[in-house]
A and B are shown apart, each in its own frame.
Chain A
Amino acid sequence: MNKLDGGLYQNQTTEKENQIGEEREAILACQAGNKKAYRYIVEKYKTRAYYAALMYTKNREDALDLSQEAFYRAFKAIQRFDAKRNFYTWFYKILKNICLNFIQFKKVRANSSDEFDETTMRPVDSSISRPDEIFEKNEQSEYIWKAIDSLNENDREIIILKEFDDMSYQEIADTLSIPIGSVMSRLFYARKKLLKKLEQIYE
C-alpha cells in the first residue's frame, strides 16, 4: 500500500467509524423515544429495504408499503434492539417476516378468489413476477432473474442477500443465524443450482 493509498484507506476507515458512531447515537436517541432521530436510520437503509422487499413482492407499490411498515414495526420494537449489533441484519428479519406474511396472505386470497385465469382456470395470482419492475429491461437480466425466481426459498434468499443486497458473510450469518462455514456451503449449492437452471433456460 503506497502513501496515497494508505491515506485514502485511513480516511475511508475513519468515515466508516463515524457512520457507525452516528448510527449508534441515532438508535440510542430512538430508544429514548426521539422519533425524529429515526430519520437517520430510515434514510440510510430505505434503498436496501425497498429492494429487499421488491425481491419478495415483485411489485413496486407493495415493496414501498411493506418496507415502510417494516421501519414502523422496527421502531416499535427498538427497545429490544442491542445498539452494539448491526441494525440492518436485525431489521431484515422483521422485513422478511412482513413480506412472507404478505405473500401468504395473497396466496390465500388468490385461492379463495372468484377470479380465474381463462386459459389455465387457475386462480389469478397478482404476485406474478414482472422483471422490469425489479431490474432494468435486459434479456440477460430477465433470464437470470427467472432462474433465481425458480429456486427454492432458501437458495433464492442466500443468493439475493449476497449478490443483490451485497451483505458480507458475517452479515448473512447473523441474518440467517447460521455459522459462516454454512454460509459458504449454502452459497455453493445455491449457485450450483442456479447455474443448472440457467443451462436449462438457455437450452
Chain B
Amino acid sequence: MSKNNPACEEARVLMMGLMDNELDENQKKKVLEHLASCEECAKQYKAFNNLKKETSEMKFTKLPEMYWDDYWDHVYNKLERGIAWIILSLGAILIFSYGAYEMTYEFFFDETISIFLRISIGIFSFGIIVLTVSVLREKLMIRHIDKYRSIKR
C-alpha cells in the first residue's frame, strides 16, 4: 500500500466496510478491484481479516444465572427507592417549614418571654442563617471550579 496513493487511501477505509459487511455493491466492487491490483493493500486486508476472525472467536465469560435472575429486581428496587427518596424529602421539607413557622410565630409573639431574650434569639438565628448560606455558597462555588466535581459513585 502506497502511503500517498489516493486509491490506496480510499481503499484502506473501504476495506473496513468490506470486512464488516457495511458497503453497497458499488463500493464493494471498487475496493475488490483495488485489492486485486494492489498487493500491499491485499496483504493488509488479509491481516485485518485474520484479526477479525481471532476477535470473533473470543468468548465472554458467562455470568452465573443467579445474577441475571436478580438483575431486574435490583434495577426495580433502585427505581422505587429513587421515587421514595423524592417523596420523603418533599414531606420532610413541608414538615420542617411548618414547624419552623409555628415555632417562630409562637416564640416571637409570646409576650410572657422577655423582649431581651426574643431579640437575642432572633440575632442568634439570623447569624446561623447567614452562616449556613455562606457555607452553602462556598460549597457551590468549589463545586463549580472543582475539576473532580463530575466524579460520582
Q: How far is the CA of A196 from the CA of B58 in the complex (A)?
A: 19
Residues in chain B near residue A69, CB distance under 8 A: 78
Interface size on A, residues (CB 8 A): 49
- Which chain B positions have C-beta within 8 A of A71? 75, 78
Q: In the complex, are the beta carbons of B54 and A38 less than 8 A apart?
A: no
Q: Is B25 an interface residue (CB 8 A)?
A: no
Count A/B pairs, Cβ under 8 Å: 109
- Report if B5 contacts A (CB, 8 A): no
Asked if A195 meets B79 with Cβ closer than 8 Å, knowing A168-B22, A188-B12, the reply is no
A144→B54 contact, CB < 8 A: yes
Number of interface residues of B (CB under 8 A): 37
A195 touches B48 (CB 8 A): yes
Query: Smallest distance from the beta carbon of B103 to chain A beta carbons, Å?
Result: 36
Task: State whether B56 touches A135 (Cβ < 8 A).
Answer: no
Among B63-71, B89-97, B117-125, the stretch that binds chain A is B63-71
Quick check: B48 and A42 within 8 Å, CB to CB? no
CA distance A69 to B153 in the complex (A): 10
Q: How far is the CA of A201 from the CA of B17 in the complex (A)?
A: 27
Is B150 in contact with A101, judged by CB distance below 8 angstroms?
Answer: yes
Question: When the two chains form their complex, are residues B14 and A184 in contact, meaning their CB atoms are under 8 A apart?
Answer: yes
A residues adjacent to B (C-beta < 8 A): 35, 38-39, 42-43, 46-47, 50-51, 54, 60, 64, 68-69, 71-72, 75-76, 98, 101-102, 104-105, 108, 132-136, 138, 140-141, 144-145, 159, 162-164, 168-169, 181, 184-185, 187-188, 191, 194-195, 198
Q: Mind listing 17 A-B residue pairs with CB under 8 Å?
A: A39-B72, A46-B71, A47-B68, A50-B63, A68-B78, A71-B75, A72-B79, A101-B151, A101-B153, A108-B151, A136-B61, A141-B58, A145-B58, A163-B52, A181-B13, A184-B17, A188-B15
